[in-house]
């Protein structure tokens, strides 16, 4: 027999009722009465000017921004991959017969 799982469920009156069923029904009724009795709260006021200042659009003019990046020279235990030109640790070095330094990601 096909079962429509989207249809609302009705209680099965043939099965014995448990105390948990009564608790669930009481809790639902209590929640519904609380929801009706509570007054709706006011919405939070948002200043449009503050919102526009905090919004960064893609392609925005960042020419006035100064980035500070500390550059370190390549360390003794690092190598530069000849395929992707990224600096990797020696543990990422793939074995290459030609003597070229290739990382494991590029060797795959």
Residue 103 placed within a domain: yes
Residue 83 placed within a domain: yes
Residue 80: which domain range? 72-108
Rounded mean pLDDT, 74-101: 89
How many domains does the chain divide into? Answer: 1
Structure tokens at 30: 């209590």
Residue 87 placed within a domain: yes
Residue 88 placed within a domain: yes
Q: What is the pLDDT of residue 52?
A: 67
pLDDT in tens, 10-36: 665 555 555 555 556 667 777 777 777
pLDDT in tens, 38-77: 656 666 666 776 766 667 777 777 788 888 999 889 999 9
Residue 80 placed within a domain: yes
Tell me how far apart the alpha carbons of residues 100 and 82 are, in angstroms, rounded to a whole number.
7
3-state helix, strand, coil in the chain (%, to 5): 30, 10, 60
Q: What is the pLDDT of residue 93?
A: 92
The pTM for the full model equals: 0.38
């Amino acid at each position: 027999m096909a079962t429509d799982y989207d249809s609302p469920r009705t209680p099965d009156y043939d099965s014995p009722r448990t105390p948990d069923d009564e608790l669930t029904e009481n809790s639902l009724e209590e929640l519904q009465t609380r929801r009706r009795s509570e007054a709706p709260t006011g919405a939070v006021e948002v200043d449009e000017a503050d919102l526009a200042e905090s919004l960064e659009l893609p392609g925005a003019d960042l020419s006035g921004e100064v980035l500070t990046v500390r550059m370190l020279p390549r360390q003794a235990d690092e190598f530069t991959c000849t395929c992707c030109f990224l600096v990797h640790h020696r543990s990422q070095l793939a074995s290459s017969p030609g003597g070229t330094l290739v990382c494991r990601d590029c060797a795959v």
